[in-house]
Amino acid sequence: MSDVVFCTEPIMTKPLAIACDHAALDLKRALVSELEKRGIAVRDFGTNSSDSCDYPDFAHAVGRAIDSGEVERAILVCGTGVGMSIAANRHAAVRAVVCSEPLSARMSRQHNDSNVLCIGARIVGAGTAIDIVDAFLGAAFEGGRHAARVAKINLV
């Protein structure tokens, strides 16, 4: 039996948010270029400077946009992806994951309904990062038993 999972979700109707800190500016630019080639609308939340800055400022700007429904999905890049994910996950509607390979990105969509993908520019090269983004954007949440588990994630 095939394990292919067909996407049952509508194609994204809102722009994909993206943000980085100084450590990942080059990677963000490479990802934006690839996303635009794929016809994906991107909303850039900064930074657009190589000056040293604080990743939580950008993670929270994107987290607020997810919480408000302004955007549905986001990509956050910093040196490791870790700081961005910790900060973004403080937002109630965010389920952020740090991925260094495509399988985790795909599974995080299928089983965990992840909506924010974090990648470390000091951990993976641009080619692998693009493969991770493609896996994240190409997979759909499977629902079913996973929906009940995802519903238990947020503290009440």
Could you list the residues that contact ligand RB5 (CB under 6 A)? 21, 23, 55, 78-80, 82-83
Query: Closest approach of Cβ 130 to ligand RB5, in Å?
Result: 19
**What are 73's two structure tokens?**
């999905």
Residue 20 known to be catalytic: no
Of 45 and 55, the one with the shorter C-beta distance to ligand RB5 is: 55
How far is 121 from 11, CA to CA, in rounded Å?
27
Exposure string of 42-74, with b = 16+ CB inside 10 Å and e = fewer, is eeebbbeeeeebebbebbbebbebbeeeebbbb
Burial of 148 (0-12, 13-18, 19+ CB in 10 A): exposed
How far is 67 from 87, CA to CA, in rounded Å?
13
What residue is closest to ligand RB5 based on CB?
83
Query: Closest approach of Cβ 55 to ligand RB5, in Å?
Result: 5
Of 21 and 113, the one with the shorter C-beta distance to ligand RB5 is: 21
Residue 111 known to be catalytic: yes
Query: Closest approach of Cβ 26 to ligand RB5, in Å?
Result: 12
How far is 106 from 119, CA to CA, in rounded Å?
14
Catalytic residue among 20, 78, 99, 118: 78
Q: Which residues are catalytic?
A: 78, 111
